[in-house]
Structure 1
Amino acid sequence: MVPKVGINGFGRIGRVVLRNALETGDVEVVALNDPFIEPHYAEYMFKYDSTHGRFKGDIKVDGKDLVIDGKRIKYYQEKDPANIPWKDSGAEYIVESTGVFTTIEKASAHFKGGAKKVIISAPSADAPMYVMGVNEDTYAGANVISNASCTTNCLAPLAKILNDKFTIVEGLMTAIHAYTASQKTVDGPSSKDWRGGRAAAQNLIPSSTGAAKAVGKVIPELAGKVTGMSVRVPTVNVSLVDFTVRFAKDVTYDEVKAAIKEASEGPLKGILGYTEDDIVSTDMLTDPHSSTFDAKAGIALNKNFVKVMSWYDNEYGYSRRVVDLIVFVSKKDAGQ
């Protein structure tokens, strides 16, 4: 049975999760909630997307609901998650994509409206985090879970392969990250992050990220061995992980490439991509992989010290994994 899904927060990730759900057919989105976007504006925002292009299907508003390709999707505008009547639409798996309700306590408000499970589309301070292809097999039935971040989803599969094959001693990551909705079009106030308040399209902006440390949560043996930072760059979408790593074992760069290619064609197929083409960031727009290893972009200094580079569509690839995680969890919950 296809899981019935509700989405709370119809921003970038909420809309792209819906696009992925419609594209794959693996889940059925039956309800949306966003208190700040009325239905006709939601229709417009979903139909026209500056990054991923115009929606190719049919979408219209009927009463207060959206109808997409002939299927009705209930549309609510509740500010408090506890007041969203998910049960009325049959939504059991809720994608919490507001970026606000990211703890177990806050996300649990969805259960009052009839939700069965909440998947947070962001890192969480206390909910268990799962990265598809890395640690989803440790899922033990928690009702509130996190899909981690887009950058963790890019780095973790790569780190898992490298650690399994060659044993990572330590690693540093730089996420060369497209700007996001939280940044400014022109210089503006940002009291907690002064650099983050500078114009996104004009600057390279060093920033902090917990994405690398989060790898230690999904791969416990790497806890304390990997950390990193981010540089926000003037592109609207698609990011690049730069991971410099020291191995316990002697290895050549060709062996690193071979290990990653083997995984991309085997256990991590569909999650990890591999390319030897001379691609640039726009070539990865709307790519559904969590991570695409760029074989030509990496380099080795010696037998233990290697830099690897991997691309990710920080919206589309990440949102595809949200869908995949819901499918995985629903099967587990059903005892399959």
Structure 2
Amino acid sequence: MCFIYSARPGPAHYGFSWVFGNSIYIQLHRDSPNSLAFITMAFSSLLKPTASLVRPSHRSQASCAGLHHSSNSVKLQSSVFGDAVTILQSSSLQKSGACSIQPIRATATELPPTVPRSQTGGKTRIGINGFGRIGRLVLRIATFRDDIDVVAVNDPFIDAKYMAYMLKYDSTHGVYSGSISVLDDSTLEINGKQIKVSSKRDPADIPWGDLGADYVVESSGVFTTIDKASAHKKGGAKKVVISAPSADAPMFVVGVNEKTYKTNMDVVSNASCTTNCLAPLAKVVHEEFGIIEGLMTTVHATTATQKTVDGPSMKDWRGGRGAGQNIIPSSTGAAKAVGKVLPELNGKLTGMAFRVPTPNVSVVDLTCRLDKSASYDDVKAAIKYASEGPLKGILGYTDEDVVSNDFVGDSRSSIFDAKAGIGLSKSFVKLVSWYDNEWGYSNRVLDLIEHMALVAATN
């Protein structure tokens, strides 16, 4: 077993590590204040037992002949592994072509990344209001996490039997792999765990406290303001997470600004699926090169609000046209919302959407003017470093010839497509990033809740 450490200049804050053969390569920046922490993280990852991996995941591999070029090395004996540790002090970074890293491949078999437990002595107990696309997937995903316990679901339009059916069978994500049974009109049993079912129209009437739910996922699409969502607190809920953009609730994107959450924020928004895709990408590009201004287009899969055939839509005439027959231009606030989670980009981004006749997976096109001169390869390298380091599990990277269906069931918020983008000049680039607008977003809803629980526990 061999460890190789390489100190190198820029980009500003990102480092990465990868496995090749029997060696672990750790690449950090010379001035990074987090170098020791990153090395510790890399060592710790080796100690995790492989038995803890429930399903296979694709590890990145590398071929880096350039690492042996003009480097001074010192061998140390490791008391942990009993093998030599080689420390390389590199004088300069090899050109991006010198190190070829296999990208993370999109897969529907990966479990969602587990965030630290809240350490409250048990799982974080949540309730779900609204059993639509997001509500059902939040429940599906939660049943495979060991840090979340769904105790109740409320939907005034769906009874227990129909809930069980809709959870089990999904035309996009397949048949649910766990066990589901209906015990009575108000109780489901999922994987041996009982979940209470209610059908209240008014959030204030849902007895969340009696049902044991501390956090509520507001996924009905109706109660999206602080005032309306706060009605859940009357029934005993402590915190509410709105699974949609909100006009006035604090907005969070995990991996971007969740650390600004404060315990006095009782109602928060998880933003939109598109903002969750765009914000991590914009964060990396802006921190490394500076974004002067940018335009975003999302090519977005069909959603439940669209019409199957032409129908009335008084506020949006084009939105009333048949979803399966048309490419429909539409508005979106996703790009402007990035300015709420990254204030330094406020007023610098805007965008629009094209709704297309596919059932799932969307893609963001960010075209932006950079403050610092950078080639497209420079931008790719910065995104790759971030995807393998501080934003791993949130931001992905691929240079394979992928299409939208390859990302169905991908739990990451944003997967950068290195081959799809292009650079016009040293300061003008088009960046492309994929996202499962259902599955990835639902994972982030739960990650945000667990982060809130962790903050509550530490305070």
**TM-score using structure 2 length:** 0.73
Residue 335 of structure 1: how far off its partner (Å): 1.2
Deviations 1:43-101 (A, max 9, x none): 10010000000001110111121110110000000000000011122100000000000
Look up the SS of the partner of 1:201 in the other structure: coil
Q: How far, CA to CA, are the matches of 1:292 and 1:113 in structure 2?
A: 39
Deviations 1:274-328 (A, max 9, x none): 1011110000001000000000000000000000000000000000000100010
The one-letter code matched in structure 1 to 2:250 is P
Q: How far, CA to CA, are the matches of 1:88 and 1:272 in structure 2?
A: 38
Picking from 82, 94, 98, the partner of 2:220 is 98
Q: How far, CA to CA, are the matches of 2:445 and 2:123 in structure 1?
A: 15
1:250 equivalent in structure 2: 373
Q: How far, CA to CA, are the matches of 2:346 and 2:279 in structure 1?
A: 12
Question: Root-mean-square deviation (CA), in Å?
Answer: 0.7
Q: Post-superposition, which runs of at least 4 consecutive aligned residues in structure 1 deviate over 4 A?
A: none
1:133 equivalent in structure 2: 255
Q: How far, CA to CA, are the matches of 1:24 and 1:185 in structure 2?
A: 35
> How many percent of aligned residue pairs carry the same amino acid?
67
Look up the SS of the partner of 1:88 in the other structure: helix
CA contact (8 A) 1:238 1:282 kept: yes
Determine which structure has the larger helix proportion and give its number.
1
Picking from 130, 134, 150, the partner of 1:13 is 134
**TM-score using structure 1 length:** 0.99
Q: How far, CA to CA, are the matches of 2:143 and 2:391 in structure 1?
A: 23
The one-letter code matched in structure 2 to 1:163 is H
1:324 equivalent in structure 2: 447
The one-letter code matched in structure 2 to 1:301 is L
Q: How far, CA to CA, are the matches of 1:275 and 1:23 in structure 2?
A: 26
Larger Rg: 2
Residue 237 of structure 1: how far off its partner (Å): 0.3
Q: How far, CA to CA, are the matches of 1:9 and 1:78 in structure 2?
A: 10
Deviations 1:197-247 (A, max 9, x none): 000011000000000000000000100000000000010000000000100
Any stretches of 5+ residues in structure 1 without a counterpart?
none
1:151 equivalent in structure 2: 274
1:226 equivalent in structure 2: 349
Residue 26 of structure 1: how far off its partner (Å): 2.4
CA contact (8 A) 1:26 1:323 kept: no
Any stretches of 5+ residues in structure 2 without a counterpart?
1-121
Q: How far, CA to CA, are the matches of 1:315 and 1:231 in structure 2?
A: 17
Look up the SS of the partner of 1:24 in the other structure: coil
Q: How far, CA to CA, are the matches of 1:289 and 1:24 in structure 2?
A: 16
Does residue 28 (structure 1) correspond to residue 154 (structure 2)? The answer is no
Deviations 1:106-135 (A, max 9, x none): 000001111010000000000000000100
1:45 equivalent in structure 2: 166
Residue 140 of structure 1: how far off its partner (Å): 1.3
Look up the SS of the partner of 1:287 in the other structure: coil
Q: How far, CA to CA, are the matches of 1:189 and 1:39 in structure 2?
A: 32
Aligned residue runs from structure 1 range 301-320, under 5 A: 301-320=424-443
2:48 equivalent in structure 1: none
Residue 24 of structure 1: how far off its partner (Å): 2.3
Does residue 4 (structure 1) correspond to residue 160 (structure 2)? The answer is no
